[in-house]
Amino acid sequence: MIEARNLVKKYGSFIAVNHLSLSLCTGETVVLLGPNGSGKSTLLGMLSLTSKPDEGEVTVDGLSGKNAKKKIAFAPQEIVLFEELTTMENLLSWSTLKGKEAKERAEYLISELDMDSFKKKRVDRLSGGQRRRVNLAVALMGNYDYILMDEPLAGIDDYGGKCIKNLLETEKEKGRGILFTEHNPTILLPLMDRKLTIDGGCFVS
């Protein structure tokens, strides 16, 4: 379980996240909703252990630090790819897996996200939606128990959204906990077990 207790994040006098607590269990999907500037991405950064809270703590299955971070796959909204490398090369370069295991995982993700037609293309020659799919696949190139995603459908067409939904359904069936932020999660609604709405750094529902 990912457990967040009384998280606070400040930028000067501005409180972006104000004493929030939440949990995410394996096999569960939680959607974090809210308008731009509500604190969604800031909260997700702390939950993924890529950003430290000013107050509070996050543990993953009772662990903290590097051991906890290894259990989380995090797909940020920003594209974090090597532009000069191909889709396949990016997956293998970012992977925490090695050798045959890495290759098999990459082929699985390429199949699930229907990226075979551009797996040998350089990233700088891909469309925005294709880059988004590669960005998500890169985040999933490891052994993890939890998947955290910041607006995974941003810039994705309906077909790409369905590919992501199908992949996440499979990951959920494998017992992985999933939490993502989204403005309009219509395509992913069938996956949702709980939703939380944040505004002004606080939960409003």
DSSP summary character for residue 59:
E
Q: How far apart are CA 48 and CA 9, in angstroms?
A: 14
Residue type, 91: L
Could you report how far apart the first and last alpha carbons of the chain are, in Å?
21
pLDDT digits (tens, 9 = 90+) for 176-188: 999 999 876 778 8
In what order do the strands lie in the sheet containing 202-203? 72-75, 146-150, 177-181, 29-33, 194-199, 202-203
pLDDT at 205: 75
Buried b / exposed e across 56-65, counting CB within 10 Å, b at 16+?
bebebeeeee
Q: How far apart are CA 201 and CA 19, in angstroms?
A: 8
Question: Which residues span the domain enclosing 165?
Answer: 2-203
The pLDDT profile of the chain, 205 residues, written as one tens digit per residue, is: 999 999 999 999 999 999 999 999 999 999 999 988 899 999 999 999 999 999 999 999 999 999 999 999 999 989 989 999 999 999 999 999 999 999 999 999 999 999 999 999 999 999 999 999 999 999 999 989 999 999 998 888 889 999 999 999 999 999 999 999 987 677 888 899 999 999 999 999 7
The candidate with the shortest Cα–Cα distance to 202, out of 57, 32, 81, 86, is 32
Q: How far apart are CA 42 and CA 45, in angstroms?
A: 5
CATH number at residue 29: 3.40.50.300
Q: How far apart are CA 191 and CA 89, in angstroms?
A: 30
> Taking the model in full, what pTM does it have?
0.93
pLDDT at 154: 87
pLDDT at 130: 95
- If one counts the domains in the chain, the total is 1
